[in-house]
Chains A and B, each alone.
Chain A
Amino acid sequence: MAAVTETLDTVQSVTQSGYKWGFETTIEMDFAPKGLSEDIIRLISTRKEEPEWMLEWRLKAYAAWLKMEEPHWARVDHPPIDYQDLHYYAAPKKRAGPKSLDEVDPELLKMYEKLGIPLKERAILAGVDPDTVEDRQVAVDAVFDSVSVATTFQATLRKAGVIFCPISEAIREHPDLVKQYLGTVVPTGDNFFAALNSAVFTDGSFVYIPKGVRCPMELSTYFRINARNTGQFERTLIIAEAGSHVSYLEGCTAPQRDENQLHAAVVELIAMDDAQIKYSTVQNWYPGDANGKGGIYNFVTKRGACRGARSKISWTQVETGSAITWKYPSCVLHGEDSVGEFYSVAVTNNHQQADTGTKMIHIGKGSRSTIISKGISAGHSNNTYRGLVRMLPGAANARNFTQCDSLLIGDQCGAHTVPYIESRNPTAKVEHEATTSKIADDQLFYCRQRGLSEEDAVSLIVNGFCKDVLKELPMEFAVEAQKLLAVSLEGSVG
Chain B
Amino acid sequence: MLEIRGLAASINEKPILNGIDLEVPAGEVHAIMGPNGSGKSTLGYVLSGREDYAVTGGTATFNGVDLLAMEPEQRAAAGLFLAFQAPIELPGVNNANFLRTALNALRRAHGESELDAVQFLKLAKAETKRLAMPDDMLKRNVNVGFSGGEKKRNEVLQMALLRPKLAILDETDSGLDIDALKIVADGVNALRRPEFSALVITHHQRLLDYLVPNKVHVLLHGRIVRSGGPELAKELEKSGYAELIAEAA
Residues of A bordering B, CB below 8 Å: 440-443, 445-454, 456, 460-461, 463-468
Interfacial chain A residues near B71, Cβ < 8 Å = 448
For residue B160, give the distance in angstroms from its CB to the closest CB of chain A: 13
Interfacial chain A residues near B87, Cβ < 8 Å = 446
- CB of B90 within 8 A of CB of A453, answer no
Interfacial chain A residues near B75, Cβ < 8 Å = 449
Give the complex CA separation of A446 and B101 in angstroms: 13
The residue in chain B whose Cβ has the minimal distance to the Cβ of A446 is B88
Per-residue A-contact encoding for B65-103, CB less than 8 Å = 1, 0 else:
000000111011100011010011111111001100111
Most buried by B among A441, A445, A467: A445
Interfacial chain A residues near B116, Cβ < 8 Å = none
Interfacial chain B residues near A442, Cβ < 8 Å = 88
Which of B48-56, B132-140, B183-191 is found at the contact surface with chain A? B48-56
The residue in chain A whose Cβ has the minimal distance to the Cβ of B144 is A464
For residue A362, give the distance in angstroms from its CB to the closest CB of chain B: 29
Interfacial chain B residues near A452, Cβ < 8 Å = 73, 101-102, 105
- CB of A450 within 8 A of CB of B90, answer no
- CB of B93 within 8 A of CB of A464, answer yes
- CB of A460 within 8 A of CB of B98, answer yes
- CB of B91 within 8 A of CB of A464, answer yes
The residue in chain B whose Cβ has the minimal distance to the Cβ of A462 is B92
The residue in chain A whose Cβ has the minimal distance to the Cβ of B87 is A446
- Contacts A445-B51, A449-B82 given; does A465 touch B102 at CB 8 Å: no
B109 at interface, CB cutoff 8 A: yes
Interfacial chain B residues near A464, Cβ < 8 Å = 90-94, 141
- CB of A450 within 8 A of CB of B84, answer no
B162 at interface, CB cutoff 8 A: yes
For residue A306, give the distance in angstroms from its CB to the closest CB of chain B: 30
Give the complex CA separation of A442 and B101 in angstroms: 18
B106 at interface, CB cutoff 8 A: yes
- CB of A456 within 8 A of CB of B92, answer no
Residues of B bordering A, CB below 8 Å: 48-52, 71-73, 75-77, 81-82, 84, 87-94, 97-98, 101-103, 105-106, 109, 141, 158, 162
Give the complex CA separation of A448 and B102 in angstroms: 9
- CB of A461 within 8 A of CB of B93, answer yes
For residue B102, give the distance in angstroms from its CB to the closest CB of chain A: 4
- CB of A466 within 8 A of CB of B88, answer no
Give the complex CA separation of A456 and B101 in angstroms: 9
Interfacial chain A residues near B48, Cβ < 8 Å = 449
Give the complex CA separation of A456 and B81 in angstroms: 18
- Contacts A449-B48, A453-B73 given; does A443 touch B109 at CB 8 Å: no
Give the complex CA separation of A445 and B92 in angstroms: 17
For residue A486, give the distance in angstroms from its CB to the closest CB of chain B: 12
For residue A354, give the distance in angstroms from its CB to the closest CB of chain B: 21
- CB of B92 within 8 A of CB of A450, answer no
- CB of A466 within 8 A of CB of B92, answer yes
Residue A451 contacts which of B50, B88, B90, B105 (CB distance < 8 angstroms)? B105
Interfacial chain B residues near A456, Cβ < 8 Å = 101, 105
Interfacial chain B residues near A463, Cβ < 8 Å = 92-93
- CB of B91 within 8 A of CB of A465, answer yes
Residue A467 contacts which of B49, B51, B52, B92 (CB distance < 8 angstroms)? B92
- Listed from nearest, the 4 A-B pairs whose CB atoms lie closest are A464-B92, A464-B93, A450-B102, A451-B76
- CB of A453 within 8 A of CB of B105, answer yes
Additional pairs, 16, CB under 8 Å, beyond known A449-B82, A450-B76: A441-B51, A443-B90, A445-B50, A445-B72, A446-B87, A446-B88, A448-B71, A448-B76, A449-B49, A451-B73, A451-B77, A451-B106, A454-B73, A456-B101, A465-B91, A465-B92
Interfacial chain B residues near A446, Cβ < 8 Å = 84, 87-88, 90
For residue A452, give the distance in angstroms from its CB to the closest CB of chain B: 5
- Contacts A448-B71, A451-B106 given; does A461 touch B90 at CB 8 Å: yes
The residue in chain B whose Cβ has the minimal distance to the Cβ of A437 is B91
- CB of B88 within 8 A of CB of A460, answer no
Interfacial chain B residues near A440, Cβ < 8 Å = 88
Q: List 22 A-B contacts (CB under 8 A).
A: A440-B88, A442-B88, A443-B89, A445-B51, A448-B72, A449-B72, A449-B73, A449-B84, A450-B76, A450-B105, A451-B77, A451-B102, A451-B105, A451-B109, A452-B102, A454-B73, A456-B101, A456-B105, A460-B98, A460-B101, A464-B92, A465-B92
Give the complex CA separation of A76 and B50 in angstroms: 38
Interfacial chain A residues near B105, Cβ < 8 Å = 450-453, 456
For residue A455, give the distance in angstroms from its CB to the closest CB of chain B: 10
Most buried by B among A440, A446, A451: A451
The residue in chain B whose Cβ has the minimal distance to the Cβ of A440 is B88
- CB of B73 within 8 A of CB of A448, answer yes
The residue in chain A whose Cβ has the minimal distance to the Cβ of B105 is A451
Interfacial chain B residues near A448, Cβ < 8 Å = 49, 71-73, 76
Give the complex CA separation of A461 and B90 in angstroms: 7
Interfacial chain A residues near B97, Cβ < 8 Å = 460
Give the complex CA separation of A461 and B91 in angstroms: 8
- CB of A443 within 8 A of CB of B73, answer no
Interfacial chain A residues near B101, Cβ < 8 Å = 452, 456, 460
Give the complex CA separation of A440 and B102 in angstroms: 19
Interfacial chain A residues near B88, Cβ < 8 Å = 440, 442-443, 445-446
Give the complex CA separation of A448 and B93 in angstroms: 15
Give the complex CA separation of A445 and B87 in angstroms: 11
The residue in chain A whose Cβ has the minimal distance to the Cβ of B71 is A448
Interfacial chain B residues near A445, Cβ < 8 Å = 50-51, 72, 88
For residue B108, give the distance in angstroms from its CB to the closest CB of chain A: 9
For residue B169, give the distance in angstroms from its CB to the closest CB of chain A: 13
Residue B76 contacts which of A443, A449, A465, A468 (CB distance < 8 angstroms)? A449
For residue B170, give the distance in angstroms from its CB to the closest CB of chain A: 11
- Contacts A448-B72, A449-B72 given; does A460 touch B93 at CB 8 Å: yes
Give the complex CA separation of A249 and B177 in angstroms: 53
Give the complex CA separation of A29 and B3 in angstroms: 72
The residue in chain A whose Cβ has the minimal distance to the Cβ of B88 is A446
Most buried by B among A449, A466, A467: A449
Interfacial chain B residues near A451, Cβ < 8 Å = 73, 76-77, 102-103, 105-106, 109, 162
Give the complex CA separation of A188 and B71 in angstroms: 58
Interfacial chain B residues near A450, Cβ < 8 Å = 76, 98, 102, 105, 158, 162
Most buried by A among B48, B89, B92, B106: B92
For residue A243, give the distance in angstroms from its CB to the closest CB of chain B: 35
Interfacial chain A residues near B50, Cβ < 8 Å = 445
